[in-house]
Structure 1
């Protein structure tokens, strides 16, 4: 018998007389060698990967500690809340108060579909139980139970909807995890969420001894490690749809812009909030002056009086277009404001003594700006001198303020010169009564505010005088506002000028707090965000302003803005990358991404683009020139010369 050695894979040289000696095929040895080489290569690759940073290394916290009620990731504390029960009826967007909460949070929703026949079988049994209970109560002569009858109607309606395919049934899990760097803040936030849900009869619990499972359940992995669900049909689950945008459209108010999320109009009345104050933060060229001019123009159409403090003569074109009063405050200007003016008597019963005391306190703040740092003795002397200055003009307790003439700064200097220990104060004050700055504050008031739009310009003043001038102007406006209650808006552009000095910052803060009682809304605008927000009074002004508009921000100030307004990472990027007139609009507890829009006619009035303004001025001059030539008409022919 012949043996096909090659075909069987044997080694021919291994054949012996006693039989066949088997050896391993060469192919098997090659495979083994190749596997060992691959193993070495994989080990080398593993060693290499161990020495490089991966995605896990970048996102993983430095440490993790599991406590009964929260998880600590590095310096961040995380707590998970889950919903255990719902009321009979929930409104559409019931989760919006939590989704729009100004806090860092993650929300997870899990939906587990259940077959309709399983639910129908259970509902059939439930119907029998409820009907039996109603029948037994009726036979026993008990009064009807509205709760049982309502439950029966709900079950029957759900059975019909499930049978017809209108509704489907799910087990629904809703978890939310909150993050904070402080345990007390985390507790406050948890209490706020529980109270908010509780007001809607939705009850939540904290994930005690399941903090890690709750944290994992809200991570973007889709792992429901809590498995705490509630039976729901399609309709109530649909009402929890999270991607809702804050609607800021109302029946009254003015158009601020377009909601960039859903293209709805942002129409709002700032006086419908708890106060009418607003703050606007933006970098230079982001469109803050453009936005506020649009608000002014549209507010004027509704009859709201507007007063503006203009530091760069940006509102002159607007004033000319609507027939406003433009007042230029400078050393050489004929427009003067007397800082010693008192509010005109109104219908309210106000003590003259209180009016004088308030005026003295405000004047002392102005004098600190003018004279610099004061000692305790100098402060006491100024207080007494101011009271005597008013008394010199018969302005004392019980006097008729409508029939008196207020003093001026020169009268105050005369009183100081007659007192002991005031030599240094008089020397510092003479600069404003006899020296270079004497044309600013040492005169009776000559301005008039009887117009629906009044603009005070301080462009021609030196930087040293601007805080004093703005302080005096605002005090004069405040006296006018208190004398007659009207719907007014006061716009303070470049408000950081006043935040540099404690007295002026304190005065603005007091104005913002009190103005609501006199139907006044104060708008503070600034591009120097850091100077404004690092002041304790600046933070307080933001807190007391229900309306806030954030346009494009600089990288240097975005972290402070995000901390102050509790912005998310997406909102921070939105403000850094926003175009002109784009930003975030806050109105009370609602906010939305906004695009400021204007018609062509409005744009021609409120534009701040120098190139566009120059073009408008040129067209205006050409029009006036053509109009003048048309009025003169063609030259009459010389009849005598024609002869």
Structure 2
């Protein structure tokens, strides 16, 4: 082979080696093009998930008919506080918030900090030499930079770069512009300055998506303390469209709107020391439940609801030894007495008779059970009376038991419990006033009223709320405690909510039936407690240290609302026209 041909061969090999990558890329491109020809027109997973169309404008995007605009925070307040991001976190519109946080290496940060400190110090000295006033625009950054440098050197702080982006979504362009102005006003009120990402809305959208990719790159240096305060700690909110207004959320000033009938049961328990505002809170709820069409029945041992009843034209029933209004303990709200219907009612009557007779033996219970069935069997057109039971017990030889019931038949209390019912629950608000009854009879009457209401509700179920004030009275005897616990347990089946109010939290929760009532109440309203009751309340409802401190120090009208698993601190508020109807403040009631 000649030198010329050898050189030609070498050059050809070199050319082939140089062009080999290009030929390989061309082949790959041809293969990819063939794949595209095969799959063209087919739909893959990406096509299914993607939007149908996107319109890009200077300051907003329109994706599938939804208008979107992204803003970034360009300026921050000089001082960071624990609630400095609340106006953004609790902004009540459809927005997405994205934080991008990057730690800055201290070795890279310190030289830049020192350079900045030198620049600011030089500017300050130059201004002093010229006799000019050195303003806060120089001194504040200088002091902050020196303080941050010292803390970084001691390991007390770290430096971060943070970017905060907010994406607003609306159905129309007009609504988008309106929401944008409102957001900018809310932020500027807290000394945050925001800007719309003009000509960068696509990059801004990419930065909002949960991919950890910051394409907008609008960063701000923050120390670790300030960065930690931007974490979006959310306070509990309780807003149900079908509910009533209970008050204002003390954590974020949002409204607390709750529908107790949408919870897993409509029962509630209220614990508060005297003067904490439990009656006021209850009356606020009564007024608003009435506006929702709920029928409300109240057992009032202290005559606190009379003015409210008169104001809304409710029915006021005063039960006492001399009153003309009566409730028959045997009133079943129906004259059809089937054995299957009587079984539950018989057990409830057993509790009432047991309370009136101050305990029963097993033999006496058996006799009462037999006597109740007989008197209902005999009564065809009207309800039996206590005297009918008394006569039947005498026939059965229960003389000792008859002696215990004698005072209710022919003694001093003959006119209280031995008469046909002449009251009705046909008004939207019915108050049973039992203040004039002797202390030893209040518990009996509260039990009879509760049983009467239960029978009426069973006969005609509709949305009702039974409020038992001073409910701890019913826990003093096993018979009444057992009855109320059963009523609370079964109330949901008849569209009834039972609300029990008590000052005696400790006594209430020490009772087995009291704890059962509390566990069967989906709504718990806890108001101010003292040091003697707080421990039992905290243990029963598993409260946090903050909630314990809140209950010990809260003001009149403040409450901790527990609805199922939601815990909300609320300030109960009444409208200007509601307040005169429900206040119990003597200074307001008796002022000239």
Interval of TM-score (by shorter of Structure 1 and Structure 2): 0.5 to 0.7
Partner of 2:407: 431
How far the C-alpha of 1:492 sits from its partner, in A, is: 0.6
1:546–1:587 contact (8 Å) kept in structure 2: yes
Q: Does 1:360 align with 2:353?
A: no
How far the C-alpha of 1:281 sits from its partner, in A, is: 0.8
Aligned pair partner of 1:407 in 384, 394, 402: 384
Root mean square deviation, CA, Å: 3.4
How far the C-alpha of 1:527 sits from its partner, in A, is: 0.6
How far the C-alpha of 1:253 sits from its partner, in A, is: 2.1
How far the C-alpha of 1:132 sits from its partner, in A, is: 13
Partner of 1:283: 273
1:170–1:232 contact (8 Å) kept in structure 2: no
SS in 1 for 2:548: helix
Partner of 2:326: 336
CA distance in 1, matches of 2:365, 2:269: 33
SS in 1 for 2:578: helix
How far the C-alpha of 1:544 sits from its partner, in A, is: 1.8
After superposition, the C-alpha distances for 1:588-625 in whole angstroms (9 at most, x for unaligned) are 2212111111123211100111232223xx6xxxxxxx
After superposition, the C-alpha distances for 1:277-333 in whole angstroms (9 at most, x for unaligned) are 111110000000000001111221222211000010000010111111111111111
Q: Does 1:522 align with 2:522?
A: no
Aligned pair partner of 2:471 in 486, 490, 495: 495
2:527–2:559 contact (8 Å) kept in structure 1: yes
CA distance in 2, matches of 1:608, 1:377: 49
Unaligned segments of structure 1, at least 5 residues: 1-130, 152-160, 173-220, 224-229, 395-403, 619-643
1:342–1:355 contact (8 Å) kept in structure 2: no
1:171–1:232 contact (8 Å) kept in structure 2: no
Aligned pair partner of 1:265 in 247, 255, 272: 255
Distance 1:168 1:289, change over 3 A: closer
Structure 2 length-normalised TM: 0.63
After superposition, the C-alpha distances for 1:409-465 in whole angstroms (9 at most, x for unaligned) are 111111111123x11111111021112222221111121222111000110111111
After superposition, the C-alpha distances for 1:483-528 in whole angstroms (9 at most, x for unaligned) are 2222111111011011122221221122112222222111111010
Aligned pair partner of 1:467 in 443, 458, 468: 443
CA distance in 2, matches of 1:243, 1:549: 24
Partner of 1:602: 578
SS in 2 for 1:482: helix
Q: 1:65-84 counterparts in 2 under 5 A? A: none
CA distance in 1, matches of 2:389, 2:49: 80
CA distance in 2, matches of 1:316, 1:341: 26
Distance 1:149 1:343, change over 3 A: closer
After superposition, the C-alpha distances for 1:225-266 in whole angstroms (9 at most, x for unaligned) are xxxxx984579x99x944112222232322111111111111
Q: 1:121-520 counterparts in 2 under 5 A? A: 146=45, 232=212, 241-344=231-334, 352-394=338-380, 404-420=381-397, 422-520=398-496
SS in 2 for 1:430: helix
How far the C-alpha of 1:137 sits from its partner, in A, is: 7.2
1:171–1:231 contact (8 Å) kept in structure 2: no
After superposition, the C-alpha distances for 1:116-163 in whole angstroms (9 at most, x for unaligned) are xxxxxxxxxxxxxxx999989768879865269979xxxxxxxxx9xx
Partner of 2:513: 537
Structure 1 length-normalised TM: 0.58
Unaligned segments of structure 2, at least 5 residues: 1-28, 51-69, 75-96, 104-155, 159-209, 216-226
1:512–1:544 contact (8 Å) kept in structure 2: yes
CA distance in 2, matches of 1:311, 1:474: 13
Structure 1 stretches of 4+ moved >4 Å: 131-145, 147-151, 165-172, 230-235
SS in 2 for 1:267: strand
